[in-house]
Amino acid sequence: MDIKTNDFNESKMQAAKKQVVSVDPANLKKKNYTIQMTDGVLIPRKDNGHVLNAWRVTFFSALILLGSLIIFKPKPYRDIFLVSIKGAPVTFEATILAIIGAIIIGTVTGLGSVSKHRWVNMVSGVYVELIRGIPLLVQLIFIYYAMGRFFHIEGMVAAVVALSICFGAYMGEIVRAGIQAIPKGQMEAAVALGLSRSQAFRYVILPQTVKIILPAIGNEFISMLKDSSLVSTIALSDILRKGREYISRTFLSLETMLIVALIYLIITLLLSRLVGMLEERLHKNG
């Protein structure tokens, strides 16, 4: 009886194996997928109605909510808004100066990452791994107090230096990826036409790289704008710092943080739309 049962089970297994389809990954249709990871908001595009609608809903909802609070409840929301918005120039100043510094550092780091000299690759790699492994807040406080022991510096200088160094590491990876995205044949063709490698890089590779990495730089700018709120920890009077000062006087923490969050949200969404328009124009002009 056991023998018949075993034979029956084996026949069922053989029949099941015949129904299994063996799939070779090499025979599958190859598709290229692009996964974009960023701390910035999703950039709206005209060819994606869902994202664009989501942007509109979020932006106008935040705008209407902020306007309604200011108009219908001026006490305390209008006062909070007028106090918090005074920190916007400091926020933009720190962000703009830092993004310029990050682009310079990132360009040098990205070029070092694709350099043929091993020690240059090593220095660039160590810098990227070191900076990306330390939180921005820790870097900000360390640079502020470390530089303060040797130099008399203001909070704005420390904030710009810390943001530039931190985002310069991420910018370096963006530049490296942009350069490597250009086919190697273009460099070889430019050299074959009589250009030196430096001329080929300057006139052929670099302009194409800029078009590729510009949207990513826009996303980094938006991320930096949000992360610039951390500069309030070193007594820099940005939007968040102004809000915290208002809380210390009135103890209206919930109301104040609501207005501060809406201000950041509206500014961030406006910038994301501008970056989206810039990207669309770049694709349109080729």
Looking at the domain assignment, is residue 174 inside a domain?
A: yes
The label of the residue with tokens 């890089």 reads: 201
**Domain total in the chain:** 1
110 contact partners, CB below 8 Å, separation of at least 6: 124, 171, 172, 173, 174, 175, 176, 178, 179
Of residues 18, 16, 13, 11, the one with CA closest to residue 3: 11
Is the predicted pLDDT of residue 201 greater than 80, yes or no? Answer: yes
In a domain, 14, yes or no: no
pLDDT score at 124 = 93
Residue 38 placed within a domain? no
Two tokens at 145?
């107090």
Is 122 domain-assigned? yes
Is 136 inside any structural domain? Answer: yes
Residue 25 lies in a domain: no
What CATH number is attached to the domain comprising 106?
Answer: 1.10.3720.10
3-state class of 142 per DSSP?
Answer: helix
Chain centroid to CA 238: how far?
A: 21
Quick check: 68 pLDDT over 90? Answer: yes
- Specify if 35 maps to a domain: no
The C-alpha atoms of residue 225 and residue 39 are separated, in whole angstroms, by 11
Work out the average pLDDT over 206-214: 86
The radius of gyration of the chain's CA atoms, rounded to the nearest angstrom, is 27
Per-residue confidence at 47, pLDDT binned at 50, 70, 90?
A: low
Contacts of 264 (CB under 8 A, 6+ apart): 225, 226, 229, 239
Range of the domain at 60: 47-285
Tokens of 229: 């709120």
Question: 50 falls in which pLDDT band (50, 70, 90)?
Answer: low
Q: Higher-confidence residue: 22 or 10? A: 10
Token digits of residue 146:
């470390």
Q: Does residue 8 carry a pLDDT above 80?
A: no
Stretch 226-238: mean pLDDT: 88
Going by pLDDT thresholds of 50, 70 and 90, the confidence category of residue 27 is very low
Q: Which residue has the higher pLDDT, 25 or 180?
A: 180
Angle at Cα 142 formed by Cα 139 and Cα 144, nearest 5°?
105
